[in-house]
Structure 1
Amino acid sequence: MLSPAFSYAALRRRGAGRVTALWLTGWQLLAWLILPLEQANWHRLLKARGLSHLECQPPRPGDPLRYLIQGCWLLLFRPRPERRTGVKAWLLESLAWLRLQQEQLQSWLHNRLFRPLADRVTTPRTVRGRTWWRKRGRSKRRLTIWLILVLALLLALLGVTQPFDYTAQLFFVLLLWSLAMVVRRLSGRFPILLMIALSVLISCRYLWWRYSSTLNWNDSLDLTLGLILLAAETYSWLILLLGYVQTCWPLKRQPVPLSEDTRLWPSVDLMIPTYDEPLSVVRTTVYAALGIDWPADKLNIYILDDGGRMEFRRFADEAGVGYIARTEHHHAKAGNLNHALKQTSGELVAIFDCDHVPVRSFLQLTAGGFLQDPRLALVQTPHHFFSPDPVERNLGLFRRTPNEGELFYGLVQDGNDMWNATFFCGSCALLRRSALEEVGGIAVDTVTEDAHTALRLHRRGWNSAYMRIPQAAGLATESLSAHVGQRIRWARGMAQIFRIDNPLLGKGLTLFQRLCYVNAMLHFLAGVPRLVFLLAPLAFLLLHAYIIYAPATLLLLYVLPHMMHSSLTAARMQGRYRQTFWGEVYETVLAWYIARPTMVALLAPSRGKFNVTAKGGLVEQTQFDWRIARPYLVLALLNLAGLGVGVWRFMYGPAAEQGTVVVTSLWVLYNLLIIGAAVAIAAEARQVRHSPRVSTRLPATLRLPGGHLYSGVLLDYSDDGVAIRVRGVASLAMGCEVSLLLRRGEREHVFPGVVCRSHDNVLVIHLTKLSREQRIDFVQCTFARADAWLNWLEPRGRERPLQSLLEVFAIGIRGYARLWQFMPRWLRLLCEPLQALLHWLGSFLPRWPQASVDSEKREWTTL
């Protein structure tokens, strides 16, 4: 540090000129500013935290101001996670203490209440002995149960209908929410049932309040729009209740072992229907079917070619499988299967879509139930996909989050199995021929022939089963338009069944079977209600219509608990199979497209035709599907206009309406982010692989041209290539011929290939010279392994509704960013000055250094 003797005044006293004194003083001040930057403490700070968005940036005109703002920010608000003091430290410690108390309370309840109750319920009566309950007569026991049920219903009715003022409602809500938060992490079935009861109580109370206190009967516009919204809410409430009934107790069925005497095993006809799919898709399925573990004299494989193609006939002859074609093509897939049923005679019928590759253990896990139960007509297994669907691919979520179908095949079908209401899904299923013949074969009256066939089987008193272990895997739809088209067919077909063969009517079904079928059919009527929810807040902002005639505070006290309890219960029940709030994104994507077909099917069920879902296609380049996204863009513009009007009304409108404007604007903002997520899905990511790669971890051996063998790990595989990690092998030249050795059981198979890429001990091998026998062996060593898809059921972490909501919001923002990216160039040029201005202003905002942000996140996530 320079001595103070060299100050301006001292230099002047020593006779220095004014210019010289100013020049020397300036250098002194500059030294005072720069030399401290060479101290060890400052360098340690730079190394630990960096300078956030300012480091590694080229010089810019506004940098002095940016450095000043960022420096003041770091000096005044720099986080110190290693030395937590003040209010923030107290808050963190308080939250940690509350979490500890909650866990201790949960443990106490589990050990003292729920576990003894569960043991009491599950312990056999022979172990419990003759209790007071058993000493009572059957009629008295039944009377006691009815009295308990009536008392519970009366208490629930009181809790639903009792009017509360603001304070009482707040206390009631906090009490039930606290109870739900305490029991939500407890293991077992009873906590789930208790959370369902709390959610139903809160939701019923909300709906009662809506019907009794929130309609403006003095204004025709308010009343009309309010009734439309109330009808949509009633639909959602009904779906919520039916969903709880359907999934409250998944059966988790285990396979039934087969008899050791194979002569008792039934004969099976395995059918692979196809229409216009390429042979490359069908070939893999046929090769996998040839390796199914079943006596050869009791298994017949047939290709059902509804296209009458000679190349398929020749392929069937070469592969040694049956080939069935028909001259007439009525009733699409259902007609194709019925035609084949008349020409075959196996006791059981296995059906696989041409892109669903079965594993070798399929019949071993599914056929045992038919020997045990003579009235068993159907065993369904999940539809599993080894390629990403459009949502997963376009958002980059493949194998990171549950896809759209996991909820149905992971939880809903398992819940249906509890009520003997498993649906036939058209593929990956085993059926009894005699049961199909009794109901007249596969149903042809609707475009969802599979679900309709299951309904007819259940009406005739046949049983069904669901095996939740994936026993096949297929290709998902490649494009969003194909995905939407497939869902339109499902929605139209379920609406047709509801219209012509309503499960609520007719004989043969139990109460819970009717409820399961009704829930599945009503679920596809969600298009109109979803559109109502996306447009409802605009009624107040644009039309000044009070669709919910109640104070904003009271609205929050009723609607927020309803949403929070349903979200918390859904996260507890189905968090492994679908993250919270993603259901609304899926419904938004489909709402516009299924609204009209379902309404038409309800009025004219004979209209509509079967459409084949295209598989095996490509997306040549990244693009935005403007045709599919058009409804989303219209909805986004309407909600954006409503948000603008809401801001204006908050600033210049009546003060008494400001609370309602704020609540409605938050609703609009939520809708905009959900719509933004739908827009993000419409940006099609590039997909140029003919054969999707399947990630795996399999032991493998590589043989080099000289004969040396190296053990390695197979990282992924496809129809025509693999990636293998081999240590100790130097980089191989492209085009080098090698051999891949894989084991299937006790046998080892050799597959010649060519190296097409080599990097960091990972070789990508193209399998181009495989004979037909080698290709069959390769499919059976990879796609058709018994454990091929078991690792895809690995449990995910605990689902957090708030975190899921933030992720959906982030994707919604990304959707609008993608929309900007794909906008016409002339429109972007018009808006570029505004974008540049916003970006320039944003560069002045202070930010935390990245290391500090990460440490802060670690603090909060440990709580």
Structure 2
Amino acid sequence: MDVISVLAPVIFVIGLLLTLFGLRQSRWVPRIRDENRKLRPWIFGLLAVLLARYLIWRLTQTLPPFEWSFVGLWPYLFLLFELASVAMTLITYVTLSRHTNRTPEVERGLPLLKARPAYKVALLIPTYNEPLVVLERTILGALVQDYPDVQVWVLDDGKRDWLRDYCAAAGVSYATRVGNAGAKAGNMNAGLASIRATGFEPDFLGVLDADFVATPGFIRRCLALHLLNDNAGIVQTPQHFFNPDPIQMNLALSGMAPDEQRFFFDELLPGRDGWGTAFCCGTSSVIRTAAVDAIGGFPMDSVTEDMLMSMRMREAGYETLYLNEPLTTGLAPEGLGEYIVQRHRWCLGLMQIIRDHYNPLSRRHRLRLMDRVHLLDTFMYWALSFPTRYLFMAAPVFYWLTGLLVIQADMPSMMVYLLPWLVLHMTAMTWITRGSLQPVLNDVTQLLIAPAAIHATFTGLLSNKKHKFAVTPKGLTGTEITIDWRALTPVLIFLALNLLGLVLALMPQVQPELDSAPRLVNLFWIVVNVLVLSMTAAACVELPRQRTQERFDSGDQRAHLVLGSSSLPVAVRDLSLGGCSLALDIALPDSGSSTAPVTLRFAAHESYRVLRVRAGVVDGRSVLGCRFVDLDLDQQQNLVRRIYGAGDGRLRHDNDTLGLLGTMFRRLFKPSAD
């Protein structure tokens, strides 16, 4: 036996303990800092060696004789999807072996940016059907940019008179067009033409989706990076969210679990940037106008125009750079149906790009090797990882029905070849990602998206018809618990199959000739499947969202509540554009609501009129729930600066894996909102 074989059980125990009991939070475990990136290739190189070792064993010692029957083909079908998973994992290791941090570069560029004549910037806000409560904060955030000569343009494909009037009152430019050809890309092309028709020729175009709020430094910091990189066509920044997505909401994980995109924006995109293959993500970017002109405008032949734009710019000699700073905060999809529709569009757009423009194996284009590798990886993720998830849900059930193993191996061999890689993979990814990639939660997400991803893959590859751009609805609220039966139905089918398999597993007379070791392995596998599927079913029960504006923890900011001639010191517990929660150290004479507005003063130059809507006692302090009234434009802008100015107005998550899994498990037995 080799050394790894002897140490396999020890590696398993140590890795499992480190993964579950807060490896990311341990002070004695060093973090891979951006200035010490040499460690990354060694970590992922070791993982690649262990995975290759497992793969050689898998291909040479675990396959039954080939035969042309369903039972005979089943292990090879499983192997085919397993090989795709191995390929994606190896590409991920290569990607994560690099990691960029462009903040020092931005700091070097800021003095140079200040010393030169100001660039002309048009900040575009394309919109279609978003309500004012969503658009208002986006427009206000755009207005408080701290870089000169920025024109804010609202591009309204919904042709709404009330929005034109609001823009006029707020002092921003408004444009619309005839028809809606080309969806978002067509809207921005028409908007750029309208801007130029006024005589304003922008050097750069900032792009914000209608539900994303920019910090004051968004334009300035992106331009500093552009200034130092003449070949930069796009500077992309991450997307953060100030509300829980449907999975976080429905599983009661708000503030605990990372949103689905955290791993992508915090780890994967910095890795791709290190390889020169970052791409535009639709919003929160600043684009060089000359680069847009060089490719003939924003591409209108894919429903994901952002990624296609990056590919075309790369061929034209322009790069996409990634600045991993929280410069914008947006609204995550609020309903599970909307969440799935958005992912369907992403998958469909990628398939259109692969089919019509940039097949990674084709010689028709001039993309570089790593562009092709990462494009192939993205294709395999959408086209193969979701069917693989279904295959893994079906495999143990098939075992109990037929007695056929997908891996023909004994338990000691599994411990020797599979376990060292599996546990070290979990440990390394847990360490490096610092909680942005959580076990089980990722399985739940993929199971929910799987039907849409499979449908979009086949539709995008096989259908040449024009596909409509599906806008993700925003600003949704509700007061009742609902069930998304469309998402739930396939989950229930697989759950029923696995429950059937569990019943068979507990019956000794079923497949009595099978050895005890594979029986135990498949029993454990099916129990895990049942738990994951149960949590996925729970995520299909939509909990109500009652607030139209998200509240943010204010850390007990000090302020004063002016009541007539007296002034009471208060602590601001949380804050939104619509209201706030105040804590006082003295008891109030009454509770409930009041019809008389009072003044909340942060400083001599910053005060707001508030109306008390409720009162109570929390931790021995009087607590008031207040609503802002009669805010003028300056006051609204001040609130935007206070809430979003430092990039802190976003949902956070902690790194407690065990706590997160415990909350998910408890959610199975408490299917209602608190």
Alpha carbons of structure 1 residues 384 and 174: separation in structure 2 relative to 1, 3 Å: same
Residue 754 of structure 1 is matched in structure 2 by: 611
* CA 1:555–1:485: 2 relative to 1, 3 Å: same
1:68-467 pair list within 5 angstroms: 170-171=5-6, 173=8, 185-188=29-32, 189-219=37-67, 220-254=69-103, 255=106, 256-259=109-112, 261=114, 264-295=117-148, 298-344=149-195, 345-467=201-323
- Separation in 1 of the partners of 2:397 and 2:412? 19
Q: Please say if residues 527 and 593 of structure 1, whose CA atoms lie closer than 8 Å, have aligned partners that are also in contact.
A: no
Q: Say if 1:652 and 1:777 are closer, same or farther in 2 by CA, change over 3 A.
A: closer
Residues 811 and 701 of structure 1: CA distance in aligned 2, closer, same or farther (over 3 Å):
closer
CA distance in 2: counterparts of 1:732 and 1:720, whole angstroms: 23
The equivalent residue for 2:482 is: 623
Match of 1:668 in 2: 526
Q: 1:539 aligns with which of 391, 398, 403?
A: 398
What is the deviation of 1:173?
Answer: 3.7
| Conserved? CA contact 1:588–1:674, under 8 Å | no
Range moving further from structure 2, 752-761 or 343-352? 752-761
Q: Which residue of 1 aligns with 2:627?
A: 766
Shift of 1:474: 1.5
The TM-score with structure 2 as length reference comes to 0.88
For normalisation by structure 1, the TM-score amounts to 0.70
> 2 CA distance for matches of 1:252 and 1:263?
25
What SS class does the counterpart of residue 617 from structure 1 fall into? coil
Q: Given that residues 494 and 533 in structure 2 are in contact (C-alpha distance below 8 angstroms), is that contact kept between their aligned partners in structure 1?
A: yes
Gaps of 5+ in 2: 24-28, 196-200
CA offset at residue 305 of structure 1?
0.3
Cα contact 1:471–1:789 (8 A) shared by 2: no
Partner residue in 1 for 2:26: none
Change (3 A) 1:439 1:258: farther
Q: Is the 8 A contact 1:675 1:812 kept in 2?
A: no
1:524 aligns with 2:375: no
Q: Greater helix percent: which structure? A: 1
Secondary structure of residue in 2 paired with 1:509: coil
Inter-CA distance 568–280: structure 2 relative to 1 (3 Å threshold)? same
Q: 1:753 to 1:378 in 2, by over 3 A?
A: same
Aligned residue pairs total 641
Of the three residues 696, 708, 715, the one matched with 2:566 is 708
SS of structure 1 residue aligned to 2:325: coil
505-514 or 451-460, which moves further after superposition?
505-514
- State the 1:504 CA deviation: 4.6
Name which of structure 1's ranges 612-621 and 759-768 shifts more when overlaid on structure 2: 759-768
**For 2:515 and 2:401, how far apart are their aligned partners in 1?**
14
After superposition, what is the alpha-carbon deviation per residue over 1:658-677, rounded to whole angstroms, capped at 9, x for unaligned? 32222122111111111112
Q: Give structure 1 stretches of 5+ with no counterpart.
A: 1-163, 823-863
Q: What's the counterpart of residue 549 of structure 1?
A: 408
Q: Distance in 1 between the 2:96 and 2:575 partners?
A: 36
Give the whole-Å Cα distance in 1 for the aligned partners of 2:590 and 2:218: 40
- Change beyond 3 A, Cα 1:812–1:630: farther
What is the alpha-carbon distance in structure 2 between the residues aligned to residue 812 and residue 737 of structure 1? 45
Q: Deviations over 1:354-381 (max 9, x none)?
A: 1111111112211112222211111111
CA contact (8 A) 1:239 1:522 kept: yes
Q: Which whole-Å deviations, capped at 9, do the CAs of 1:103-152 have from their partners, x for residues lacking one? A: xxxxxxxxxxxxxxxxxxxxxxxxxxxxxxxxxxxxxxxxxxxxxxxxxx
Residue 568 of structure 1 corresponds to 427
Matches within 5 A, 1:37-48: none
Q: Measure the CA separation in 2 of the matches of 1:235 and 1:721.
A: 50
User: What is the distance in 1 between the residues matched to 2:231 and 2:113?
Assistant: 22
- Tell me, what secondary structure is at the counterpart of 2:506? helix
Q: Which has the higher contact order (CA 8 A, sep 6+)?
A: 2
Displacement, 1:386? 0.7
CA distance 1:813–1:729, shift in 2 (3 Å):
closer
492-501 vs 316-325, greater mean Cα deviation? 492-501
Tell me the equivalent position of 2:355. 499
1:737 to 593, 597, 613: 597
Report how far residue 179 of structure 1 moved.
10
Task: Give me the whole-angstrom Cα distance separating, in 2, the residues matched to 1:789 and 1:244.
Answer: 32
Q: Which amino acid aligns with 1:211?
A: L
> C-alpha distance in 2, partners of 1:521/1:257?
38
Partner Cα distance (2:555, 2:345) in 1:
37
Rate the CA distance shift 1:460–1:586 in 2: closer, same or farther, 3 A.
same
How far did 1:714 drift?
1.9
Question: C-alpha deviations, 1:385-418, integer Å up to 9, x for none?
Answer: 1111111111221122222111111111111221
Q: 2:497 & 2:511 partners in 1: Cα distance?
A: 20
1:589 to 1:559, Cα distance in 2 relative to 1, 3 A: farther
Q: Tell me by how many angstroms 1:440 deviates.
A: 1.6
Q: Deviations over 1:446-498 (max 9, x none)?
A: 11111111121122221222121111112111111111111111112122222
Q: Distance in 1 between matches of 2:181 and 2:489?
A: 35
CA offsets per residue over residues 614-672 of structure 1, 9 Å max, x none? 11001321233233211110000001111211222x34543443322221221111111
Q: 1:221 to 1:346 in 2, by over 3 A?
A: same
Question: Structure 2: how far apart are the matches of 1:643 and 1:726?
Answer: 56
Structure with bigger gyration radius:
1
**Residue 767 of structure 1: how far off its partner (Å):** 1.0
Deviation at 1:758, TM superposition (A): 2.2
> 1:559-608 CA distances to partner (integer Å, 9 max, x unpaired)?
33342222122112213322234322221221223112212322335453
Instruction: Mark the CA change 1:808 to 1:260 in structure 2 (over 3 Å): closer, same or farther.
Output: closer
Residue number in structure 1 paired with 2:451: 592
What per-residue deviation string (whole Å, max 9, x for no partner) do you get for residues 829-849 of structure 1? xxxxxxxxxxxxxxxxxxxxx
Distance in 1 separating the partners of 2:661 and 2:647: 33
Partner of 1:123: none
Amino acid at match of 1:521: F
Compared CA separation, residues 642 and 313, structure 1 to 2 (3 A): same
Which of 490, 506, 510 is matched with 1:647 structurally? 506
How has the CA–CA distance of structure 1 residues 808 and 606 changed in structure 2, closer, same or farther, with 3 Å as cutoff? farther
Residue in 2 that maps onto 1:53: none
- Tell whether the 8 Å contact from 1:222 to 1:546 is kept in structure 2 after alignment: no
The residue type paired with residue 451 of structure 1 is: M
Tell whether 2:312 aligns with 1:477.
Answer: no
Distance, in Å, in 2 between the alignment partners of 1:793 and 1:505 is 42
Amino acid at match of 1:788: D
1:691-711 C-alpha deviation (Å, 9 max, x unpaired)? 221222263422323232333
Runs of 4+ in structure 1 deviating by more than 4 angstroms, as ranges, are 174-184, 186-192, 260-263
Residues 696 and 502 of structure 1: is their aligned pair in 2 closer, same or farther, counting only changes over 3 Å?
farther
The change in CA–CA distance for 1:232 and 1:398 in structure 2 (over 3 A counts) is: same
CA contact (8 A) 1:539 1:547 kept: no
